[in-house]
Amino acid sequence: MLTLYTTPGTCALATHIALEEAGATFELVKVDFSQNAQRSAAYLEVNPKGRVPALVTDQGILTETPALLLYVAQMYPAAGLAPLEDPFALARMQAFNSYLCATVHINHAHGRRGARWADQATSHADMLQKVPQTMGDCTALIERDLLAGPWVLGDRYSVADGYLYTIARWLKGDGVVVADFPKLAAHMAAMEARPAVQRMLAAY
């Protein structure tokens, strides 16, 4: 059985959504960041990076959201969570997920995890001040060029949609008004109507 290590409000929710959509049997283990549990010896044995998500499988432990999402889609192909039969469409999905992981998430983290990049309080303040602009720019790009609508890939739902929804939930705290982006606002509403998303939200 699969075990997902997660924390409320983190990108791990995207993998949780994917598992719910797939109808997978899995155990949910919540890592308490308020107690610094992600840095405990026990958790570092699971994920030496000290972050979530981590997914324990029969073959070993996987980390990093884009990898976990593709794994779930490939392990449960009947759920249709990725265009596995179309190399170009699959690459587009992976490009979108990579953008969320490598650019959008990092911009968000500058407002909350400044100590990863700098030691001075003034540097942290600079990073925090920049977050509304960088996250707003990312959101505008997604709205204009990357979110085909109604789903990321157009008419076909995929694991990229759960990932986008997870990160879009951070935008208000980052100073971005989702209502200013009609396609994204519609996407979030459609996601929240999905039973898998409702089950995920109820788990926290």
When pLDDT is cut at 50, 70 and 90, the band that residue 113 belongs to is: confident
Examine the fold and report which residue of 58, 80, 102 is the final residue of a domain before the chain moves on.
80
In a domain, residue 11? The reply is yes
Whether residues 186 and 95 share a domain: the answer is: yes
Examine the fold and report which residue of 80, 114, 145 is the final residue of a domain before the chain moves on.
80
In a domain, residue 177? The reply is yes
Whether residues 102 and 173 share a domain: the answer is: yes
- Between 180 and 109, the higher pLDDT residue: 180
Quick one: average pLDDT of 45-73? 98
Q: State the SS3 of 2-41.
A: EEEEECCCCCHHHHHHHHHHHCCCEEEEECCHHHCHHHCH
| pLDDT at position 121 | 83
Domain count along the chain: 2
Compute the distance between CA of residue 164 and CA of residue 139 in angstroms, rounded to an integer.
Answer: 10
Span 116-129, pLDDT tens digits:
887 888 888 888 89
Quick one: average pLDDT of 38-44? 95
Lowest mean pLDDT among 41-55, 93-107, 114-128, 164-178: 114-128
| pLDDT at position 107 | 95
When pLDDT is cut at 50, 70 and 90, the band that residue 66 belongs to is: very high
Q: Which residue range is the domain that position 113 belongs to? A: 87-194
In a domain, residue 164? The reply is yes
Whether residues 91 and 185 share a domain: the answer is: yes
Examine the fold and report which residue of 80, 104, 120 is the final residue of a domain before the chain moves on.
80
In a domain, residue 203? The reply is no
Whether residues 65 and 124 share a domain: the answer is: no
* Other CB atoms within 10 Å distance of the CB of residue 91: 11
